[in-house]
Structure 1
Amino acid sequence: MARDTEMEHLHPLFRQKVELLLQDLAKAKLPFRMFEGFRSPQRQHDLYCQGRTKPGAKVTNADAWSSLHQYGVAADFVLYIDGKWSWDDKGERKAWWKKLHQLALQHQLEPLSWELPHLQLQQMQLAQLRAGKYPADGDADWAENLQHAIATWRGTPGAPPMPLAASGRPPLPANAPEPQSPATTPNSTARLATVTARDGLRLRAGPGTQFDIKTTLRSGQQVYVLASSGDWSQIDIEGDGLADGYCHSGYLAVNS
Structure 2
Amino acid sequence: MITLDYVKSKSASKLSGLHPVVLAATERLIERTYAQGVTIIITQGLRTVEEQNYLYALGRTKPGKIVTNARGGYSNHNFGVAIDFALLMPDGKVSWVVNDNWMKVVGIAKELGFEWGGSWKTFKDYPHFEMTFGLTTSQFRAGKQPSQAQISEAYKKINGEMEDVEKAKVYVNGEKIEDGFVLEGRVYVPLRAAGEAFGAKVNWDNDKKIASITK
Check whether TM > 0.5: yes
Counting only pairs closer than 5 Å after superposition, residues 11-22 of structure 1 correspond to structure 2 as 11-22=19-30
2:14–2:42: 8 Å Cα contact kept in structure 1?
no
Whether 1:96 and 2:112 are equivalent positions in the alignment is: no
C-alpha RMSD over aligned residues: 1.9
Distance (Å, rounded) in 1 between the aligned partners of 2:117 and 2:31: 21
Gaps of 5+ in 1: 138-256
Q: In the alignment, which residue of structure 2 is the partner of 1:229?
A: none
1:5–1:35: 8 Å Cα contact kept in structure 2?
no
Whether 1:116 and 2:121 are equivalent positions in the alignment is: no
**Percentage of matched positions with identical amino acids:** 34
1:4–1:38: 8 Å Cα contact kept in structure 2?
no
- Paired residue secondary structure (1:75): strand
Distance (Å, rounded) in 1 between the aligned partners of 2:143 and 2:23: 19
- Paired residue secondary structure (1:10): coil
- Paired residue secondary structure (1:105): helix
The equivalent position to 1:69 in structure 2, one of 72, 77, 93, is: 77
The equivalent position to 1:128 in structure 2, one of 121, 139, 155, is: 139
Change (3 A) 1:124 1:84: farther
Distance (Å, rounded) in 2 between the aligned partners of 1:130 and 1:4: 26
More helix by share: 2
TM-score by structure 2 length?
0.57
Distance (Å, rounded) in 1 between the aligned partners of 2:56 and 2:92: 28
The equivalent position to 1:85 in structure 2, one of 81, 90, 94, is: 94
2:16–2:45: 8 Å Cα contact kept in structure 1?
no
Superimposed CA distance per residue, residues 187-216 of structure 1 (whole angstroms, 9 cap, x where no aligned partner): xxxxxxxxxxxxxxxxxxxxxxxxxxxxxx
1:5–1:38: 8 Å Cα contact kept in structure 2?
no
Cα shift at 1:55: 0.6
Distance (Å, rounded) in 1 between the aligned partners of 2:80 and 2:33: 21
1:45–1:64: 8 Å Cα contact kept in structure 2?
yes
Distance (Å, rounded) in 2 between the aligned partners of 1:110 and 1:45: 23
Change (3 A) 1:6 1:97: closer
Distance (Å, rounded) in 2 between the aligned partners of 1:5 and 1:65: 22
Q: Which structure's CA Rg is the greater one?
A: 1
Moved over 6 A (4+): none
Cα shift at 1:10: 0.5
Distance (Å, rounded) in 1 between the aligned partners of 2:85 and 2:56: 20
Change (3 A) 1:4 1:28: closer
- Number of aligned residues: 131
The equivalent position to 2:111 in structure 1, one of 97, 106, 112, is: 106
Q: In the alignment, which residue of structure 1 is the partner of 2:64?
A: 56
2:30–2:39: 8 Å Cα contact kept in structure 1?
no
Distance (Å, rounded) in 1 between the aligned partners of 2:102 and 2:84: 12
| Bigger Cα displacement from structure 2, 115-124 vs 103-112 | 115-124
Gaps of 5+ in 2: 1-10, 119-123, 149-215
Q: In the alignment, which residue of structure 2 is the partner of 1:194?
A: none
Distance (Å, rounded) in 1 between the aligned partners of 2:44 and 2:14: 9
Cα shift at 1:133: 0.5
**Counterpart residue identity of residue 117, structure 1:** P
